């Protein structure tokens, strides 16, 4: 009987504490490992590495950044290596690392370590890149009272992981799915016949859910504030318009700036008094943090 690979219970507990679904992570790891082998074997490793050889593989930062995904990388090695590997998590998610810092150290059969190496690096580098970019935005608006929030512009199948990485970088999550909260955008407004009509329709159908409404003018802002919106997304407002929106709002709703925001204007936007900056780039454009894998003989 063939036993399906699984993740060690202790690492599963870590994933749960991080707000991640173990089944989702397991499915992703299975796909990543199967994609790498494509039904065959690692022809290079089985040709060059003696059967039974044991080594230590260190995942090492090559660039400075913020780490995210340590338990996910550990889960890769656990999934591939089972009881045959020993995993030491040297860094923790949210830590700032410098070049040369060891993040994860794994000992076990060399064949298994090299099989797990690339999927682990891909995930750890991607998530750490998101955390690093998020921290850059968070630092840019520090002291303003504004928070950095992500969007649903995520990689299909990786939303929970990517939004977790945003949290590791000090950012906040917007809704996780279409069912978490309502966000009335321009297309909904057109379909409903007006911004106030769209807001009222959602409030009537789902009375207990938070409703955010996108507006592209100060007149629309006044309309949705009078209707009782919880949160208003200011789409492509100038900083001057945002300041006026904050004055008109007078604390009635939370205000979120959105629409092509960039780091060079983040401080000025935050200074207007808005509550959130919505930044899709956190997940759709974050560069991968350069992390390498160094193999050494087991002591």
31: domain CATH number?
A: 3.90.1170.20
185 is catalytic: yes
Residue 57, beta-bridge partner list: 106, 295
Marked catalytic residue, from 58, 162, 214, 223: 214
Q: Sign of torsion, CA 124 126 129 135?
A: negative
Catalytic annotation present for 240:
no
Whether pTM > 0.85 for this model: the answer is yes
Average pLDDT over residues 5-30: 96
Q: How far apart are CA 86 and CA 132, in angstroms?
A: 28
Q: Are residues 42 and 124 in the same domain?
A: yes
> Comparing C-alpha atoms, which of 75, 69, 80, 71 is closest to residue 110?
80
Residue 51 shares a structural domain with residue 25: yes
| Alpha helix positions (H), 101-193 | 110-140, 159-168, 186-192
293 and 253 within one domain: no
Mark whether 153 is an active-site residue: yes
Average pLDDT over residues 232-248: 96
Q: Among the options 118, 152, 203, 254, which is catalytic? A: 118
Q: What is the pLDDT of residues 20-54, one digit of tens each?
A: 999 999 999 999 999 999 999 999 999 999 999 99
139 is catalytic: no
Whether pLDDT at 2 is above 80? no
Residue 19 lies in domain: 9-130+287-297
Whether residue 143 sits in one domain with residue 78: no
Q: Is residue 153 part of a domain?
A: yes
Q: How many residues does the chain have?
A: 299
| Claim to verify: residue 271 and residue 226 sit in the same structural domain | yes
The residue annotated as part of the active site, out of 21, 30, 180, 185, is 185
In the set 93, 95, 223, 235, the catalytic residue is: 235
Catalytic residue among 63, 96, 153, 203: 153
163 is catalytic: no
Structure tokens at 121: 């690096």
Q: Are residues 195 and 256 in the same domain?
A: yes
Q: Are residues 145 and 277 in the same domain?
A: yes
Number of alpha carbons in the 13 Å side-chain half-sphere of residue 67 = 25
pLDDT in tens, 72-85: 999 999 999 999 99
Where do we find the tokens 């830590």?
95
pLDDT greater than 70 at residue 1: no
Please check whether residues 277 and 184 belong to one and the same domain. yes
Pair (75, 191) in one structural domain: no
Q: Tokens representing 157?
A: 């199948």
pLDDT higher than 60, residue 190: yes
Could you tell me the pLDDT band of residue 228, with boundaries at 50, 70 and 90?
A: confident
């Amino acid at each position: 009987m063939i036993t399906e690979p699984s993740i060690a219970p202790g690492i599963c507990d870590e994933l749960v504490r991080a707000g991640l679904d173990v089944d989702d992570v397991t499915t992703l790891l299975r796909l990543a490992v199967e994609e790498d082998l494509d039904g065959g074997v690692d022809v290079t490793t089985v040709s060059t590495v003696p059967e039974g050889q044991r080594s230590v593989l260190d995942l090492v930062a090559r660039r400075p950044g913020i780490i995210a995904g340590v338990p996910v990388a550990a889960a890769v090695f656990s999934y591939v290596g089972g009881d045959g590997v020993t995993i030491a998590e040297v860094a923790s998610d949210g830590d700032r690392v410098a070049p040369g810092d060891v993040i994860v150290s794994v000992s076990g059969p060399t064949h298994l370590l090299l099989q797990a190496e690339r999927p682990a690096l891909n995930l750890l580098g991607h998530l750490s890149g998101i955390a690093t970019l998020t921290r850059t935005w968070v630092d840019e608006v520090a002291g303003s009272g504004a928070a950095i929030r992500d969007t649903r512009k995520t990689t299909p199948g990786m939303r929970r992981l990517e939004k977790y990485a945003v949290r590791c970088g000090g950012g906040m999550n917007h809704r996780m799915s279409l069912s978490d909260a309502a966000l009335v955008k321009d297309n909904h407004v057109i379909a409903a016949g007006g911004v106030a009509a769209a807001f009222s329709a959602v409030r009537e159908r789902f009375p207990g859910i938070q409703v955010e409404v996108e507006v592209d003018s100060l007149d629309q802002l006044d309309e949705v504030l009078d209707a009782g919106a919880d949160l208003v997304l200011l789409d492509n407002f100038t900083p001057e318009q945002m300041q006026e929106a904050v004055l008109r709002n007078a604390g009635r709703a939370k205000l979120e700036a959105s629409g092509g925001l960039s780091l060079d204007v983040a401080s000025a936007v935050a200074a207007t008094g808005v509550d959130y900056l919505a930044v899709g780039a956190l997940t759709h454009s974050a560069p991968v943090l350069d992390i390498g894998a160094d193999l050494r003989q087991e002591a």
